[in-house]
């Protein structure tokens, strides 16, 4: 099988050995964790980095004139360098730490949306966005008189590019905010083509990279992106830390999102001035331990390398699609040409929640529901789907276990 060749550069046993949780059993069976798109498991390096900080090297950052604070600041700020290199950002000061992708998108919607966009302008999203890339724009629309336009998708689950371009033609679109990889369909959007087209019509582009950055090397300069958001906990890091990258001149032009400590130049009762970017957008004591954990997670990803990660994902995805196609009554939702390791499916005669419970009973963890993408579900004519999603530790045998279990689910509800 050529799949074996393609994963040759990734030592799956060595990788799995780094994730303590993968040794757990669930309901008496080995854990088969196929819900990484919701949140990924954590490698030893991340766990150790956070524990090490708490046990040996912890104080508040950016302010202490003492050894502990200086060392902690170095470790925390080191993650900013790692994050910048991860996505090939030209300047470490363009990396803004947020709580998660949702925090990053809300920052853009609030600061760029209200501070730079003008009433009467429009924002374009796509029909396959997570709620976190829908609701902030609805709030901007209602508060600031911004029109919200939705670019349709094809029945295959790909961006309808001609229709997308039509939405840009009147020149009123200030920003395109779009997923880089759908959390439901696994579709990768044609990012470089999106930015080229949007820029031709004078619009900036923000990518929600929550899923994409897990599987593919992201180069914000090659993509010619303007904003890029991702979250730590899907990238094998801790919860509570996310990243917004934006071009420096955009960050400079944007007003702060939240006020507080750490984001000011000086404060008097009459007026305050803002710190330079990125600190202007980082009010309050940050997620120090989580920032340190994210640094370790990026180090873990770098050690494997995106070539091996992407090849593994492609191999798993091909294998899963082939196995699921063999099962009568199981339908994979979406058939994009360029797709990755997030696979939604339905089972004839069984609701997605019942499917998930039956799989759980065999130790297989999948997600079931609307996946925080209700408008997409309506577009697809579905109430819910089950979803299997893969991480760097996922094996072909786990996908085989899913396929075997799905045959049994069919029998159970027959």
Catalytic residue IDs: 372
Alpha helices in 287-364 (DSSP H): 288-304, 306-325, 352-360
Between 199 and 361, CB nearer to other proteins: 361
Q: Are 242 and 230 in contact (CB under 8 A)?
A: yes
CA of residue 313 relative to chain centroid, distance: 15
Residues 184-203 that bind other proteins (CB under 8 A): none
Is residue 378 near other proteins by the rule CB under 8 A? no
Between 213 and 368, CB nearer to other proteins: 368
Is residue 351 near other proteins by the rule CB under 8 A? yes
Q: Are 97 and 237 in contact (CB under 8 A)?
A: no
Is residue 412 near other proteins by the rule CB under 8 A? yes
Tell me the C-alpha distance between 11 and 162, whole Å.
Answer: 42
Between 255 and 349, CB nearer to other proteins: 349
Is residue 384 near other proteins by the rule CB under 8 A? yes
Candidate list 114, 193, 335, 361; residue touching other proteins; CB under 8 A: 361
Q: How far is the CB of 236 from other proteins (least distance, A)?
A: 25
Q: Are 367 and 38 in contact (CB under 8 A)?
A: yes
Alpha helices in 34-123 (DSSP H): 44-56, 67-86, 101-107, 113-115
The SS3 assignment for 244 reads strand
Between 191 and 352, CB nearer to other proteins: 352
Q: Are 195 and 167 in contact (CB under 8 A)?
A: no
Given phi > 0 = left and psi -120 to 50 = alpha, else beta, which region is 230? beta
Is residue 92 near other proteins by the rule CB under 8 A? no
Tell me the C-alpha distance between 158 and 190, whole Å.
Answer: 9
By CB under 8 A, the count of residues binding other proteins is 20
Is residue 354 near other proteins by the rule CB under 8 A? yes
Is residue 330 near other proteins by the rule CB under 8 A? no
Q: How far is the CB of 128 from other proteins (least distance, A)?
A: 17
- Binding part of the chain for other proteins, among 115-123, 135-143, 246-254, 355-363 by CB under 8 A, reads 355-363
Tell me the C-alpha distance between 31 and 124, whole Å.
Answer: 40
Candidate list 161, 274, 306, 413; residue touching other proteins; CB under 8 A: 413
CA of residue 30 relative to chain centroid, distance: 27
Between 331 and 362, CB nearer to other proteins: 362
Q: Are 148 and 200 in contact (CB under 8 A)?
A: no
Between 172 and 361, CB nearer to other proteins: 361
Candidate list 370, 375, 379, 400; residue touching other proteins; CB under 8 A: 370
Tell me the C-alpha distance between 340 and 187, whole Å.
Answer: 7
CA of residue 80 relative to chain centroid, distance: 17
- Binding part of the chain for other proteins, among 7-15, 59-67, 315-323, 345-353 by CB under 8 A, reads 345-353
Candidate list 123, 194, 244, 350; residue touching other proteins; CB under 8 A: 350
Phi, psi at 100, each rounded to 5°: -175, -175
Q: How far is the CB of 361 from other proteins (least distance, A)?
A: 5
Between 86 and 355, CB nearer to other proteins: 355
Q: How far is the CB of 393 from other proteins (least distance, A)?
A: 24
Q: Are 235 and 297 in contact (CB under 8 A)?
A: yes
Candidate list 5, 63, 85, 408; residue touching other proteins; CB under 8 A: 408
Is residue 131 near other proteins by the rule CB under 8 A? no
Tell me the C-alpha distance between 325 and 145, whole Å.
Answer: 47
Where along the sequence are the contacts to other proteins (CB under 8 A)? 349-354, 357-358, 361-362, 368-370, 374, 377, 383-384, 408, 412-413
């Amino acid at each position: 099988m050529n799949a074996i060749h393609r994963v040759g550069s990734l030592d799956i046993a060595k990788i799995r050995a780094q994730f303590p949780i993968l040794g757990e059993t669930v309901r008496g069976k080995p854990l088969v964790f196929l819900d990484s798109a919701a949140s990924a498991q954590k490698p030893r390096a991340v766990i150790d980095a956070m524990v090490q900080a708490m046990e040996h090297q912890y104080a508040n950052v950016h302010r202490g004139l003492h050894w502990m604070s200086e060392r902690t600041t170095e470790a925390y700020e080191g993650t900013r360098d790692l994050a910048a290199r991860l996505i090939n950002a030209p300047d470490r000061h363009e990396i803004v730490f947020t709580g998660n992708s949702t925090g990053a998108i809300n920052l853009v919607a609030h600061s760029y949306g209200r501070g730079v966009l003008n009433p009467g302008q429009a924002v374009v999203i796509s029909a396959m966005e997570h709620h976190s890339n829908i609701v902030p724009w609805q709030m901007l629309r209602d508060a600031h008189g911004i029109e919200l336009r939705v670019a349709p998708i094809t029945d295959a689950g790909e961006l309808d590019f001609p229709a997308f371009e039509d939405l840009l033609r009147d020149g009123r679109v200030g920003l395109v905010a779009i997923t880089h990889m759908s959390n439901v369909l696994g579709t990768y959007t044609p990012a470089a083509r999106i930015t080229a087209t949007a820029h031709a019509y004078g619009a900036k582009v923000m990518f929600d990279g929550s899923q994409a950055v897990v599987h593919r090397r992201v180069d914000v300069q090659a993509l010619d992106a303007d904003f890029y958001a991702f979250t730590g906990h899907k990238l094998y890091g801790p919860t509570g830390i996310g990243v917004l990258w934006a071009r420096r001149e955009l960050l400079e032009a944007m007003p702060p999102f939240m006020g507080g400590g750490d984001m000011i130049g000086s404060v008097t009762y009459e007026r305050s001035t803002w710190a330079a970017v990125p600190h202007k957008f980082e009010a309050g004591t940050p997620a120090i331990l989580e920032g340190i954990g994210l640094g370790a997670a990026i180090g873990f990803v770098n050690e494997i390398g995106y070539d091996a990660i992407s090849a593994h994902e492609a191999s798993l995805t091909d294998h899963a699609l082939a196995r699921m196609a063999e099962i009568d009554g199981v339908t994979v939702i979406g058939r994009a040409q360029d797709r990755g390791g997030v696979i939604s499916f339905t089972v004839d005669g069984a609701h997605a929640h019942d499917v998930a419970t039956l799989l759980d009973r065999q130790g297989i963890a999948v997600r079931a529901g609307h996946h925080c993408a209700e408008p997409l579900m309506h577009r697809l004519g579905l109430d819910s789907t089950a979803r299997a999603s893969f991480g760097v530790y996922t094996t072909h045998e786990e996908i085989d276990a899913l396929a075997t279990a799905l045959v049994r689910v069919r029998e159970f509800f027959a």
